[in-house]
Amino acid sequence: GAGVSQSPSNKVTEKGKDVELRCDPISGHTALYWYRQRLGQGLEFLIYFQGNSAPDKSGLPSDRFSAERTGESVSTLTIQRTQQEDSAVYLCASSLRDHQPQHFGDGTRLSIL
Complex with another protein: residue 42 or 71, whichever CB lies closer: 42
Complex with another protein: residue 19 or 93, whichever CB lies closer: 93
Tell me the C-alpha distance between 83 and 85, whole Å. 5
Tell me the C-alpha distance between 13 and 19, whole Å. 8
- ∠ CA 33-28-30, rounded to 5°: 40
Q: Nearest approach, Cβ of 4 to another protein (angstroms)?
A: 7
Residues that bind another protein (CB under 8 A): 4, 33, 41-43, 45, 48, 55-56, 58, 91, 93, 98-99, 101-107
Q: Nearest approach, Cβ of 9 to another protein (angstroms)?
A: 9
Complex with another protein: residue 28 or 99, whichever CB lies closer: 99
Exposure string over 40-59, b if 16+ CB within 10 A, otherwise e: eeeeeebbbbeeeebeeeee
Q: Nearest approach, Cβ of 30 to another protein (angstroms)?
A: 14
